[in-house]
Amino acid sequence: MRRGLITIGVLVIILGAAALLSGIIARSIVIAFWGLVLIVALVIERVRYKRLESKRPGPGWERTTERFVDEETGAMVTVYIKPDTGERAYVRD
């Protein structure tokens, strides 16, 4: 699904560029803007929400008391943290 949305975003930007070349300046900027917003949102979503791991992380990771149910899969998730970097890992129980 992500690839499809990125494709749509790129096509919208191309359409905006084509409209700009044809002299429709105001509308082309709006069209290209929304294509860019779609792509940026997908990149932020990818960075912000990490995938669930199926096994515990290696040495240097500590289990936290934070647990929750992943809405997408319905699986219980335990959060691990690497104290020296603050990095978090989400592990499916």
pLDDT of 40-67, one tens digit each? 888 887 666 677 888 899 899 999 999 9
- Predicted confidence (pLDDT) per residue in 65-92, tens digit: 999 998 778 889 999 999 999 888 999 9
Q: Which amino acid is at 75?
A: A
Query: pTM of the full predicted structure?
Result: 0.51
Q: Is the pLDDT of residue 2 over 80?
A: no
Query: Domain map of the chain by residue range?
Result: 2-48, 62-92
